[in-house]
Amino acid sequence: MNNRRIVSCLIGLFFLVTMTGNAQTGTPALDWKGIEEAWNAYYASPSEANAEKMLTLLPGNTKITDIRDGFLVVNLIYDHLGILEGEIYAGKPNSIKLGFRLFTISYGTFEITLNKIIGNLIAFNPRLFLEELAAHRGLFLSLKPILTSFLKDTPDDPVAQELERRLRIKSLESITEKPLKSLRNECIKILKRM
């Protein structure tokens, strides 16, 4: 009987410690008004400085699970992603970081669009793609949605799909820096398996 009480107390303590730990490591509160203002400034004048302002307001590698308070802001950003897309393809480092950082507040169609934009970066600048992917790796349970995002663009064209797959593999293979090699190989492996 005493053993049962001890076990029950230990289980209770375990849950108490676990719940306390979760309360201390919850998702950070975001300044949605500040994010909206920073995005409007970026949208009006895309620049590395304005991208940096956005970066300071978004969480680093923490996926925000409750965006209710920022739903309108998230939709505002999504509606104008084309501005960011152009800056990403131009190779602007802070804009590329911002593209990855937006995964912290993206869901649904917004996330699918970011997958496409960031996935296309592989052909334009595979080094920056891998560097930022390494820095934000914790945001992605799987790399497949980013790496294979082109499949949704050409669902009825296997020739175009194969050309894009080969282009991405060849672009990734051009990166030989040791710190990026492991992640590069992981990406190539996923692309070769499809």
Report how far residue 98's alpha carbon sits from residue 100's, in angstroms, rounded to the nearest whole number. 5
Residue 100's closest CA among 128, 141, 127?
Answer: 128
- Cβ-proximal residues to 128 (8 Å cutoff; 6+ apart), any chain: 91, 93, 96, 121
Residue 69's closest CA among 40, 30, 97?
Answer: 30
Report how far residue 127's alpha carbon sits from residue 47's, in angstroms, rounded to the nearest whole number. 21
Asked whether 70 and 108 are in contact (CB, 8 A), the reply is no
Report how far residue 127's alpha carbon sits from residue 125's, in angstroms, rounded to the nearest whole number. 6
Residue 157 token pair: 């064209």
Please give the single-letter amino acid code of residue 76: L
For 186, counting Cβ atoms within 10 Å of its Cβ (0-12 exposed, 13-18 middle, 19+ buried), the class is middle
Residue 1 has pLDDT above 60, yes or no: no
Dihedral, 135, 140, 141, 147 alpha carbons, nearest 10: -110
Residue 113 token pair: 């669009």
Q: Record the pTM.
A: 0.82
In tens, the pLDDT along 95-109 reads 999 999 999 999 999
pLDDT of residue 87: 96
Residue 125 has pLDDT above 80, yes or no: yes
In tens, the pLDDT along 140-174 reads 999 999 999 998 888 889 999 999 999 999 999 99
Domain boundaries defined on the chain: 30-193
pLDDT more than 70, % of the chain: 86
In tens, the pLDDT along 41-94 reads 999 999 999 999 999 999 988 999 889 999 999 999 999 999 999 999 999 999
